[in-house]
Amino acid sequence: MLYLAPASVIEEWSKTEPAKRKEAEEKMQGDWRTWMKEHGNMLKETAGTGKTKRVTKGGTTDTKNDIMLYSVIEADSAESAAKIFEGHPHLDIPEASIEIMPINLLPSAM
């Protein structure tokens, strides 16, 4: 699954007055911990993303996308996982979304 928020929203948020930003971030972290107590066992891996490179036939360039974090989760189906994430604290970020998709392992190329 992918946690997304527009890069422009995150950039604008970084300009928020520090005390107000800290208060909102602490609330979101608390909400996230509460959510994790109930649903965290389904998350097998979670990581933040860094600076993005786009590779094309024309070369490599720096770029930005909306991916903030990713998680590998275990669920009965994408539909059941989506229901669980409907109330996730990440969605409190303006214009944020969460995308859930199955992982289809490819046969070994070897």
Instruction: Please determine, for residue 76, whether its predicted confidence score (pLDDT) is greater than 90.
Output: yes
Tell me how far apart the alpha carbons of residues 92 and 109 are, in angstroms, rounded to a whole number. Answer: 41
pTM: 0.86
Residue 65 lies in a domain: yes
Residue 68 lies in a domain: yes
Digit-coded pLDDT (tens) for 48-61: 999 999 999 999 99
Q: Which domain holds residue 81?
A: 2-99
Residue 61 lies in a domain: yes
**Structure confidence at residue 106 (pLDDT):** 85
Residue 96: alpha-carbon gap to chain centroid: 9
Structural domain total, the chain: 1
- Residues 66/8, Cβ–Cβ less than 8 Å: no
What CATH number does the domain containing 67 carry? 3.30.70
